[in-house]
Amino acid sequence: MTAAGLRRTLATRVVLGLFLGVPDATLTHTQVASLVQARGVTVNRVTLYRLLDRLVACGVLRRQTDHASRSWRFALARDEDAEAVIRPPSFECDLCHRSLWLDAAGSEMRAWAGALLGRAAAQGHRGTQVELAIRGICADCDGVGAGGGARA
């Protein structure tokens, strides 16, 4: 933490503990704030935003956009995330909001992502990262309503 410029505050330790305790959790700022408060720690909401941003900047957490709720979700970064330009594909559940890593797509995914970066460069853009996320309902949540009729 110190090498990344983070102080070892109580808030930092509690927030890290939340994500380390449930490695596949993806939490909004509001959810993190509620969980921190439930542990008896008071943190100003702006301070918490800054802390989450710092944890993303130093590669401890990753931030993803939840388009359905128009909010950011934070999750524990995997070791490969810190240096990868092409992130491993993930599946994001619309119901429980877990982010599940899909098995490595291998050379086909890297070739596809490289082609996209090449297209961006040909148009004068500088691509820095490629992410592929499939959104839907995970197997665990889908099993909850089995036989419950059609879903929207």
Q: What is the pLDDT of residues 28-82, one digit of tens each?
A: 999 999 999 999 999 999 999 999 988 888 778 888 877 777 888 898 887 654 4
pLDDT, mean over the chain: 79
More confident of the two residues 85 and 73: 73
Greatest extent of the chain over all pairs of C-alpha atoms, in Å: 53
Phi-psi region of 5 (alpha: psi -120 to 50; beta: other; left: phi over 0): left
Instruction: Place 147 in a pLDDT band, splitting at 50, 70 and 90.
Output: very low
Query: Full-prediction pTM beyond 0.75?
Result: no
Which domains, and CATH codes, for the chain? 8-77 (1.10.10.10), 78-141 (3.30.1490.190)
Which SS3 state, helix, strand or coil, does residue 75 take? strand
The pLDDT of residue 37 is: 94
